[in-house]
Amino acid sequence: MTAILSNLQAVKRAVTEASIAAGRPRDAVHLLAVSKTFPAEAVREAYQAGQTAFGENYLQEALDKIGALRDLPLEWHFIGPIQSNKTRAIAEHFDWVHGVDRLKVAERLSAQRPESMPPLNICLQVNVSGEASKSGVAPQEVLQLAGEVVRLPRLKLRGLMAIPAPVDDPLLQRAPFVQMRELLAVLNAQGMQMDTLSMGMSHDFAVAIQEGATIVRVGTAIFGARNYGGEQ
Ligand SMILES: *Cc1c(COP(=O)(O)O)cnc(C)c1O
């Protein structure tokens, strides 16, 4: 058995166990395999092990892989920071975008989404307490942004995404996930119809699932440690 196959099986088992332990349906959580820095052949191997949804952070690297794997029915998620001059390629090649945090980017993605493709699935990135990156909209500004994004014709506003700073203490891990769960509930009570909480990575996905994650984004636990040497 290859490492990717056995890692994937272990992660899927842990996701299912966390879902059941949280009293949620066993298929409540979708696993997004984060393949950044790993070659197309690693993605192919994960596909052969049953994985179809993959997350990428770096546009050029992602486009190369998407091209090399055109023969497979894969679902591609862009999870990196979005520069406005890169929106066209993102709109043309991805199924989901997780890091939208300003209207200008959303407007460009909507305008540039080809008519021949279904609407682009969008998550708004929220800068929750302890957000590791500087991106993300402030929690008190999410409602306004959501109200604007939901009107864009070629986008489908699905939910919220966060990247909390990595901490080992499960008590500290939990707070930003609770904040996200409550924020989604507030937005839906205000009339939004969002079904997605994209949160939880290799080191904290079990806690994220307890707090309502519907997509966990897992890289290291599936593909192994990343070598950042060649990164863009
Ligand atoms: C790299 C990355 C991940 C995966 O992180 P791991 O710790 O390797 O599981 C998840 N989400 C985002 C936004 C990332 O950039």
Ligand 1 centre from 215 Cα, in Å?
Answer: 12
- Residue 231: what pLDDT? 46
- Residue 229: what pLDDT? 60
Q: What is the pLDDT of residues 8-53, one digit of tens each?
A: 999 999 999 999 999 999 999 999 999 999 999 999 999 999 999 9
Q: Which residue lies with its CA nearest to atom 6 of ligand 1?
A: 219
- Residue 2 above 50 pLDDT? yes
Ligand 1, residue 201: give the atom nearest the CA.
9
Ligand 1, residue 32: give the atom nearest the CA.
10
> In the chain, what percentage of residues exceed pLDDT 70?
98
Q: Which domains does the chain have, with CATH numbers?
A: 3-223 (3.20.20.10)
For a substitution probing ligand 1, which of 161, 163, 168, 217 has the most ligand atoms within 8 Å of its CB? 217
Q: What is the pLDDT of residues 96-128, one digit of tens each?
A: 999 999 999 999 999 999 999 999 999 999 999
- Residue 164, Ramachandran bin (φ over 0: left; ψ between -120 and 50: alpha; else beta): beta
Q: Give the whole-angstrom CA distance, residue 3 versus residue 229.
A: 22
Q: pTM for the full model?
A: 0.96
DSSP character string of 105-154 = HHHHHHHHS-TTSPPEEEEEEB--TTBSSS-SB-GGGHHHHHHHHTT-TT
Q: What is the pLDDT of residues 145-171, one digit of tens each?
A: 999 999 999 999 999 999 998 888 888
Ligand 1 centre from 89 Cα, in Å?
Answer: 21
- Residue 131: what pLDDT? 77
Ligand 1, residue 79: give the atom nearest the CA.
13
**Average per-residue pLDDT for the chain:** 95
Pairing of strands 75-78, 155-161: unpaired
